[in-house]
Amino acid sequence: MNRTDTEVLLKNGAIKTPCYILNKDDLNAHVDRVCSIVSDIAGDRVGLCYAMKANALITDIMSEKTGHIEVCSPGELKICKGLAIPGEKIIFSGVNKTEENIHDAIEYGVDIVTLESIRQYNIVKDYVAGAGRSVKVLPRLSGGAQFGMSEEEVRFVIDDSIHTDGIDAIGIHYFTGTQKKKIDKDIEELEYLTEFIKGLKEEYGFSPKLLEYGAGLAVPYFEGDDHEHVYDSLTELVTYIAGLDIDYKVGIELGRYFAYSCMTYLTTIDDMKRCADTNILIVDGGIHHVNYYGQNMAMRVPLMDLIHTESDDKGSEMSIGAVDYSDENWKVCGSLCTFADILVRKVTLDEPKIGDALVFHNAGAYSMTESPALFLSRPMPGIYSYGKNDGLKVIRETTETYGINNPLSDDRNI
């Protein structure tokens, strides 16, 4: 979203901070570019899956552009149901699936159920035995963390499923982490996976149709990152996959990489002061609204803008006490009563004033959901969508949270 559009929305009072703005034009352009790269290089040998945990607000758009949506919780499945996303577009994943969760997903008609444990496999196995139907599953191979199963457990599932009616083990699911800045790690993992699958073929006569692979491609957030070659790693990865001697499809599962650039976060400067020889801005938002993976305790500066929204007279009160604000470096702090609420420790800004707005770019992935939204019972920011054709629309008004935290409240709804 360009600076001019944001400035107009702020100055005409169309939006109220703190807030997020989802720019549909930016999202569509970015996702179309990703899809085009994959299609041009690999055709239908490589598919794309959107991990909706990165940003559930774009799930409807992503369901139209990618082969699958990865759903990792009952709540996310309910979102998909509400959006009328067909079950055949859904991979139902998640480390903790109860029997009820799995039954609900299968009955909705999800395309694939991932298996994080032998227990989950047995739940599916028992279900199909009683229902007389077939379910496609993807056993998840662990990368060493709490997710997935060991090689031995995956082998057991593959072997047993081959001899079990109603269980169609169509491949393997694998994901080890995010923000992989070089694809060397991806290539290393894919080499391991192709050898592991080859062993399954030789030992059990396994005929996989899909390797669902979480690539964890890195995205640029901060000053000094490479913002000009965002698609290079994807191109290199897809080219490598297209050259593999395999007879099954590879599904590249992406969340952060799809969503990161589609939203901006806006917050207003409510106060200014100088403490311990440091210029400090206090904004109406904070770390309960926005965070960036790898920001290193606010030491790194995300891409951001300062927009002057008030007259020059607004900042005149800062001359009281003869405080010298000539230093252009500022520490940006939020509204929370905690030493941790620092958005940026040191950033150069051109004469900020009370009432001006700070715009944080690339806040589309995880920021609004991973942040401690209930801390201090402050409101959750409003959310807007914006596009040249659609104009400005309200997705969510500013929402109070104190009712959730109040032990005597009759209304827990937010």
pLDDT in tens, 240-253: 999 999 999 999 99
* pLDDT given for residue 320 in this prediction: 46
Give the whole-angstrom CA distance, residue 390 versus residue 393.
8
Residue 324 pLDDT exceeds 70: no
Instruction: Compute φ and ψ for 64, nearest 5 degrees.
Output: -85, -20
Mean pLDDT within 147-171: 97
Residue with tokens 């964890």: 216
Of residues 334 and 3, more confidently modeled: 334
What is the band of 64 on the pLDDT scale with cuts at 50, 70, 90? very high
Instruction: Compute φ and ψ for 317, nearest 5 degrees.
Output: -65, -20
* Cis peptide, bond prior to residue 18, ω within 30 of zero: yes
* pLDDT given for residue 130 in this prediction: 85
| Token output for 357 | 């707005």
Give the whole-angstrom CA distance, residue 125 versus residue 396.
41
Mean pLDDT within 316-328: 58
Mean pLDDT within 320-344: 84
* pLDDT given for residue 319 in this prediction: 46
Mean pLDDT within 341-345: 97
76, 55 contact by CB (below 8 A): no
pLDDT tens string 67-108: 999 999 999 999 999 999 999 999 999 999 999 999 999 999
DSSP β-ladder status, 210-214 and 171-175: parallel
Q: Choose among 32, 106, 23, 110: nearest CA to 66.
A: 32
Give the whole-angstrom CA distance, residue 402 versus residue 410.
12
* pLDDT given for residue 276 in this prediction: 87
* pLDDT given for residue 310 in this prediction: 72
Mean pLDDT within 3-8: 91
Residue 323 pLDDT exceeds 70: no
* pLDDT given for residue 132 in this prediction: 84
What is the band of 181 on the pLDDT scale with cuts at 50, 70, 90? confident
Contact partners, residue 347, CB within 8 Å, separation at least 6: 301, 304, 329, 330, 332
CB atoms within 10 A of CB 188: 10
What is the band of 232 on the pLDDT scale with cuts at 50, 70, 90? very high
Residue 318 pLDDT exceeds 60: no
* pLDDT given for residue 325 in this prediction: 67
* pLDDT given for residue 408 in this prediction: 77
What is the band of 410 on the pLDDT scale with cuts at 50, 70, 90? low
Contact partners, residue 253, CB within 8 Å, separation at least 6: 49, 50, 51, 70, 175, 212, 213, 214, 215
* pLDDT given for residue 2 in this prediction: 84
The answer to whether the Cα torsion of 178, 180, 183, 188 is positive or negative is negative
241, 45 contact by CB (below 8 A): yes
Helix 184-204 with 151-162: angle, nearest 10 deg: 40
Residue 414 pLDDT exceeds 70: no
| Token output for 170 | 């169509």
What is the band of 336 on the pLDDT scale with cuts at 50, 70, 90? very high
Sheet with 249-254: list strands edge to edge.
Answer: 167-169, 135-139, 112-115, 90-92, 68-71, 46-51, 249-254, 210-214, 171-175
Residue 321 pLDDT exceeds 80: no
* pLDDT given for residue 62 in this prediction: 98
Q: Where are the beta strands (DSSP E) in 255-390?
A: 263-275, 278-283, 304-307, 329-333, 342-348, 357-360, 382-387
What is the band of 35 on the pLDDT scale with cuts at 50, 70, 90? very high
| Token output for 46 | 């490589």
Give the whole-angstrom CA distance, residue 294 versus residue 80.
30
Mean pLDDT within 1-13: 90
Give the whole-angstrom CA distance, residue 312 versus residue 189.
56
DSSP 8-state secondary structure symbol assigned to residue 355? T
* pLDDT given for residue 316 in this prediction: 45
**Domains of the chain from N-terminus onward:** 3-21+262-405 (2.40.37.10), 25-259 (3.20.20.10)
